[in-house]
Amino acid sequence: MDERLDQFLGLSTALTGFDGLELRGTGVAGEYLRALDDSLPGGIVDELLAAYTKLPEGAEREAAFSKNILDDPKLGPVVQRLTMLWYCGTWTQLPDAWRAAYGISPHDTSRVVSPEAYLAGLQWVAAGAHPPGSAQQGFGSWAVDPKGAASDQ
């Protein structure tokens, strides 16, 4: 297995609330890691993965995750965008202040990463729904109580 991808999936699990199996099952994990590499100035993805790998285990882990990653001025906006990428299949350009402080990648543009990424959006799974135009639920499925699907986690 690819250790870097594993680290990326570990981080992504913590960000999305979906487990590694679900994230791998989207089929776009490798594409998202490449999209992250493309969209950030060099070295920042490895810095992020290192910060994630170094988190302490046990009771301090959650606080350290917040302090070292979520609330970090450099890594915080990046993981927000990574979370949105997993949920929506869309990369959102980093804020101007971030770009001024940490550098600009020419690929840091708001975009649907690929048609496959749109289809893999976790938001549809969370909603008990499906991406419009694909993964259709079948004739009359919409007439049925959605509760089972929506709370199935």
Smaller CB separation from another protein, 43 or 61: 61
β-bridge mates for residue 111, sequence order = 91
Least distance (Å) from another protein to the CB of residue 71? Answer: 9
Least distance (Å) from another protein to the CB of residue 77? Answer: 9
Smaller CB separation from another protein, 2 or 144: 144
Smaller CB separation from another protein, 18 or 102: 18
Cα 90 to its chain centre, rounded Å, is 10
Smaller CB separation from another protein, 42 or 151: 151
CA–CA separation, 78 and 73 (whole Å)? 9
Residue ranges that bind another protein, judged by CB under 8 A: 14-18, 70, 79-80, 83-84, 87-88, 90, 92, 110-112, 114-115, 118-119, 122-124, 126-130, 132-134, 136-147, 150-151, 153
Least distance (Å) from another protein to the CB of residue 11? Answer: 11
**90: enclosing H helix or E strand:** strand 90-91
Distance (Å) of CA 146 to CA 140, 149, 150: 12, 6, 6
CA–CA separation, 50 and 41 (whole Å)? 16
Least distance (Å) from another protein to the CB of residue 23? Answer: 12
User: Which amino acid would we find at residue 123?
Assistant: Q
Structural tokens at position 147: 């509760």
